[in-house]
Chains A and B, each alone.
Chain A
Amino acid sequence: MNDFKDCYQSAVKDLGILGMKEFHMDASQCMDEGRHNRRVVRRMSRSAATAFSAACVIFLCGFGTVKAAEYLENVIKVQEWGFESADAATMARNETEYPRTYIVSEEVGLSMEDDDVREVVGGEEGPVLLEAGEEDMTEEVEVEEMPVKNYSSLEEFRRNEDIIFPQPSISTEAEKVSATVCGDWAMIRYDMDEKVIWVERTDYADTQGHASSKVFPGGVCNERQYTTAQGYTYTLVDSVKESEDDQLQIHGAVSVGTYEAYIDLIGYTEDEAKEIIESIDLSLYEQGRKEDK
């Protein structure tokens, strides 16, 4: 019987079979502050891209006739794979037939040419991504490509965007903040030491019906409700852990008027998560809408 240590050492030395390149580094490379900053920005951009494609919002089209005012009856449901939300009429219809929508998947900083529009068929087992053309497409749906804008600080985001986006109190303590905006959808990521928070919101005021999904590969569990002191009720879930040592990942969803907001907290306890959720002033979404009118 072979010794695992010896065999593993041989395998690691042969890491080229996994595509590992030779690594050479010059001392000047690790003394260069500019290079360090570029690495940080690159990592954050990749993170934003991954978040955007992993937890995708499905923009939808062609559902029809529901008016904005009826979004007060937005429905957010928890499925095994994550959150599903829609206006009440669409949700009711979706329960009797598979929703047929199109996903706009944008990779921040990358070309849209390779992998931009795919059909999504949802059902009890969650959205299934199909390559366009894999199934007959009996109805033509126009999908508008929306530009994705990235900001590397809260200040830059506020300077360039005039949108309502209530901030958690922790936003001022974060080491790094980055924001991504795409149409009526916006997401801000806050990095604190080993912890991360994503807050995202979508305004459906200017659409006529929607269905969206937020998918967490690996699935979710432990569905519960939490009502804030302001009276807003979040639906909370946890990501399914791969191992008992995995960090707790709590995800929350809430609907306020025409807005839908999500928060993902990685590395926070339940109590800390609730404290952060409490600090987000969701009434701004309602006030903003009144001001608009």
Chain B
Amino acid sequence: MAEKRNGREEVSVSQAAYMEALQQKINNYSSLLYRIAFLQLKNNQDAEDVVQETFYRLVKNRKEFETPEHEKAWLIKVTLNGCRKVWRSAWYRHTDIVPAGELPEGGLPAGRQGETDGAMEAGILEKERNREIMEAVLKLPRRYREVIHLFYFQQMSVKEIGAATGRKESTITSQLTRGRELLKKNLKEEYRYE
């Protein structure tokens, strides 16, 4: 329902419509935010709390955004801050839930049982490579892990990462460089990083 007020068009949204719009935002962003939180905290429960808290803040503050990009950046920033809050609480960094080296052994992904030997082998190799990459990324210090994820998965620019993390672009660049160096050192396979 829309109404005119003081020459400006305002959208008066009913509770049901508001909930629907909110659910749409949750559907759009929750998976993205949850992956970010999980990679930072390595723990389902904490990641879930952080994402719920992020949307709680969105609702509570009734934030208005100029663009969807602005909204996404705000959500990522609040999620990262939430992770930091958990992280800083009581030497959290020493309680990693999924220590590297203890990941489940690779097996066939669901639904691949009927594939040919070649495809099965490729699937296993891919699974192993994924495992090796994730172990290497999880071994990175938290700050590097954060920028590596935002750069390579979210495909954010250095400037956008700087805005989301509240750090200078030069710091982000140097953290990316250091993160890549550590990855090169820890990964058996060589990759193109640029």
Binds B, one of A27-35, A153-161, A201-209, A254-262: A27-35
A218 proximity list for chain B (CB < 8 A): 93-94
Q: With A2-B189, A25-B51 given, is the CB distance from A10 to B92 under 8 Å? A: no
- From B49, B91, B152, give the contact of A9 (CB < 8 A): B152
A1 contacts B192, CB within 8 Å? yes
Query: Does B38 interact with chain A (Cβ within 8 Å)?
Result: yes
Q: Mark B113-149, 1 if CB is under 8 A from A, else 0.
A: 0000000000000110111011001100111100011
Nearest opposing residue in chain A for B138, CB measure:
A18
Interchain nearest-CB distance for B14 vs A (Å): 14
Chain A positions 211-244 with a Cβ under 8 Å from a chain B Cβ: 216-218, 242-243
A19 contacts B192, CB within 8 Å? no
A18 contacts B134, CB within 8 Å? yes
Nearest opposing residue in chain B for A50, CB measure:
B90
Q: Range of interface residues on chain A?
A: 35 or more
A23 proximity list for chain B (CB < 8 A): 30-31, 34, 47-48, 51
A11 contacts B191, CB within 8 Å? no
Query: Does B112 interact with chain A (Cβ within 8 Å)?
Result: no
- From B22, B126, B144, give the contact of A27 (CB < 8 A): B22
B49 contacts A39, CB within 8 Å? yes
Task: Please report the C-alpha to C-alpha distance between residue A222 and residue B84 in the assembled complex, in whole angstroms.
Answer: 25
Task: Please report the C-alpha to C-alpha distance between residue A48 and residue B55 in the assembled complex, in whole angstroms.
Answer: 25
A39 contacts B130, CB within 8 Å? no
Binds A, one of B1-9, B63-71, B98-106, B156-164: B98-106
Q: Mark B83-97, 1 if CB is under 8 A from A, else 0.
A: 011101111111101
Q: With A2-B191, A9-B152, A245-B143 given, is the CB distance from A27 to B98 under 8 Å? A: no
Query: Does B190 interact with chain A (Cβ within 8 Å)?
Result: yes
A15 proximity list for chain B (CB < 8 A): 35, 38-39, 134
Number of residues of chain B lying within 8 A (CB) of chain A: 67
Interchain nearest-CB distance for A268 vs B (Å): 12
Interchain nearest-CB distance for A83 vs B (Å): 15
B30 proximity list for chain A (CB < 8 A): 23-25
B88 proximity list for chain A (CB < 8 A): 194, 196, 247, 266-267
Query: Does A46 interact with chain B (Cβ within 8 Å)?
Result: yes
Query: Does A7 interact with chain B (Cβ within 8 Å)?
Result: yes
Q: With A25-B55, A43-B49, A47-B89 given, is the CB distance from A11 to B134 under 8 Å? A: yes
Q: With A18-B134, A19-B98, A23-B48 given, is the CB distance from A4 to B193 under 8 Å? A: yes
Query: Does A42 interact with chain B (Cβ within 8 Å)?
Result: yes
Query: Does B44 interact with chain A (Cβ within 8 Å)?
Result: yes
B19 contacts A3, CB within 8 Å? no
Closest 3 CB pairs of A and B: A30-B55, A4-B191, A47-B89
Beyond known contacts A7-B130, A19-B44: 18 more, CB 8 A cutoff: A4-B191, A4-B193, A9-B153, A12-B153, A14-B130, A17-B106, A23-B47, A25-B30, A27-B22, A31-B59, A36-B56, A39-B53, A47-B89, A47-B90, A54-B94, A189-B90, A218-B94, A245-B143
Interface residues of B (CB under 8 A from A): 19, 22-23, 26, 30-31, 34-35, 38-39, 42, 44, 47-49, 51-53, 55-56, 58-59, 81, 84-86, 88-95, 97-98, 103-104, 106, 109, 126-127, 129-131, 133-134, 137-138, 141-144, 148-149, 152-153, 155, 167, 171, 175, 183, 189-193
19 contacts between A and B (CB under 8 A): A7-B129, A10-B129, A11-B130, A11-B134, A17-B106, A17-B130, A25-B55, A28-B19, A31-B22, A31-B59, A36-B52, A42-B49, A50-B91, A50-B94, A51-B91, A54-B94, A194-B88, A243-B141, A245-B167
